Amino acid sequence: MVHIDDLLRMLVESEASDLHLRVGEPPIMRVHGLLRRVPNLPVLTDRDMYDTLYIMLNDDRRTRFEQNMELDMSYAVPGLARFRVNLFRQQGHVGAVMRVIPYIIKSIDELMIPPIVKDLCMLPRGLILVTGPTGSGKSTTLAAMVHHINERKPKAIITIEDPIEYLHTDKLASINQREIGVDTHSFAAALKHVMRQNPDIILVGEMRDLETIHLAITAAETGHLVFATLHTTDAPQTIDRIIDVFEPEQQQQIRTQLAVTLQAVISQTLLPRADITGRIAAFEIMVCTPAIRTLIREGKTYQMYTDIQTGSQYGMQTLDSHLLQLALQGLVLFEDAQAKASNPYEFETRYKRALERRTAGEQSAA
């Protein structure tokens, strides 16, 4: 069996994002969103899985995996990259999925994140949520945001991650990165004590439960800038998800707190690029204007979409608008953009009109 480091080297050289290992199949890589079996490698046996995966585990991790039958961890191949690793059991066998985390953190500009995000990073306090489905690039966006602050402001930053993905090196900021299961027991446990660690900025890898959500909102309320993620697809759904976690008698209070503390919701999804090899993120951005804050307080999240559509002067944009822009620039295929659009029929209509206007403009210029 190939050594795990060699497999991961193949993963990086193939420009793949994930490696899937399971008994009865050869190693499988996700290359630009598509799964491909690695050619010329045999199917994996239980012995192969044990020899391949357990070499990454120290005694503590081995004990935790065997007790919980699940394990999130990070693994590094020196000089190559870091990897986010999830070990699990399926049908009595050990399985694993590993994601590439490059050593080099790309900037907001390099990732083509909308410029308003730079302004959001400079805010003194409040809650900024980065949302999207699993594998949509939320961790990469957050790393770019922390990197942006690190290069510009002497702030104390504490991250709570499961596991630690991108490693930050102090520049102007002082950054402490804490890993669940290694440095703290849970997001909630870390957040309970984080105030005594004198942070300016707190990054919460994932708001998974009521206690973590409540503590994150409280941290933002007490004058900290808090970044956090949720697995939601747009801003209204994000607000509703947070509110619905709480008991009915608490929900109005949480709406009021959220209306005061929330600064922005950045929702994203990944698409394959049409111009070069790779993927690109499309973003929906909601900035909390007084009108948006009123809608949150009154529970009228269904009206937010109109404010996002008309809020371009505040840096807001809908996902469909960004998808249209990417398609018209030739960065993504129309079909891929339409598949991600919230209203595919309207998206097609807007795309055709934009092409007609472009053609008419070119003809008049000629």
Architecture of domain 116-346: 3-Layer(aba) Sandwich (3.40)
Ordered by start, the domain boundaries in the chain are 4-101, 116-346
Q: 218: which 2 tokens?
A: 């409280």
How far from each other are the two terminal CA atoms of the chain, in whole angstroms?
Answer: 63
Mean pLDDT, contiguous 10-residue spans, the chain (366 residues) = 90 94 96 90 94 92 93 92 95 95 94 97 98 93 98 98 93 96 92 94 95 96 96 95 96 97 98 92 98 97 95 97 97 97 96 92 76
Q: What is the rounded distance in angstroms from the CA atom of residue 38 to the CA atom of residue 28?
A: 6
CB 258 within 8 A of CB 239: yes
Q: What is the per-residue pLDDT for 20? A: 97
Q: Report in angstroms the alpha-carbon separations of 196 from 27, 200, 243, 246.
A: 45, 11, 28, 26
Question: Which DSSP helix (H) or strand (E) runs through 346?
Answer: helix 344-365
- Could you tell me how far CA 141 lies from the centroid of its own chain? 6
Which CATH class, in words, describes the domain spanning 4-101? alpha beta
Query: Is residue 85 helix, strand or coil?
Result: strand
Q: 307: which 2 tokens?
A: 């404010």
Q: What is the per-residue pLDDT for 240? A: 96
Same fold, 4-101 and 116-346: no
Query: Is residue 34 helix, strand or coil?
Result: strand
Q: What is the rounded distance in angstroms from the CA atom of residue 22 to the CA atom of residue 37?
A: 12
Q: What is the per-residue pLDDT for 366? A: 64
pTM for this predicted structure: 0.91
